[in-house]
Amino acid sequence: MGKRLTLFVTVLFAILAWQSALSQGLPKTFRLTIAPTTNGKVLVTDAHTAYTSGAMLPADSVVTIIANPAEGYELKLMTLNGDTISSGARHTVKQDVSIEATFQVSPVSAVGSAVLQEVEIPNPFSESLTVHCASRVYRATLLTPFGQVIATIEPRGGDERLEFATDSLPSGLYILRLTDGHGRYRAFKVVKE
């Protein structure tokens, strides 16, 4: 009987303590959701903490949302609870936070290779896409504007001409990314007629 009474009293005090905490107002938090993305990352930070998806953000805290694209990509669109924001935006947390970001191939590389300056690319192209003066190209990649790889060519070295068969591709905009032996690259917008 004594053990039951002790257990009852312990549970009763726990319930009373919980009710007291509720009446005093527990600190409010809101859930952070960052949608999975490719070709980049989304960072959410405040003055002290970097948060990941699923974290609970303190109410009224101010967070900074940063889009960090992978090399060769740029931010296309980022939204916070459905509203478009830019990278570096600051947000005061008043409700659950949902962030989505999409990245696209950067049309021109900021780290463009001087070695790849002499290449010649007919633009627009039709049945095939040919890269001339390509002896210093280590890798050539043809992508959709959204970064999906269509084809990659890794020449044997010294090839002056690289050719992508494009007869099965629909007309439209594509990105041709040429990489030299040091990992530097240039990206070109090309159009298939």
**Domain boundaries along the sequence of the chain:** 26-105, 114-192
Residue 15: how many other CB atoms lie within 10 Å: 10
DSSP H/E element including 24: helix 2-24
Q: Where does residue 58 rank: exposed (0-12), middle (13-18), buried (19+ CB within 10 A)?
A: middle
Mean pLDDT of 63-85: 88
Buried b (16+ CB within 10 A) or exposed e, 2-13: eeeeeeeeeeee
Higher pLDDT, 21 or 97: 97
Q: Is the pLDDT of residue 7 over 50?
A: yes
CATH, range 114-192: 2.60.40.1930
CA 45 from centroid of its chain's CA atoms: 16
Question: Does the bond joining 69 to the residue before it have cis omega, within 30 degrees of 0?
Answer: no
Q: Is the pLDDT of residue 25 over 70?
A: no
DSSP H/E element including 66: strand 62-69
**Has this prediction a pTM greater than 0.75?**
no
Q: Is the pLDDT of residue 171 over 60?
A: yes
Q: Is the pLDDT of residue 60 over 80?
A: yes
Mean pLDDT of 154-175: 82
Closest to 120 measured CA to CA, from 135, 141, 106, 104: 135
pLDDT at res. 111: 46
pLDDT at res. 110: 43
Closest to 94 measured CA to CA, from 57, 52, 45: 57
What does the alpha-carbon distance between residue 185 and residue 183 come to, in Å, rounded to a whole number?
6
Q: Is the pLDDT of residue 83 over 70?
A: yes
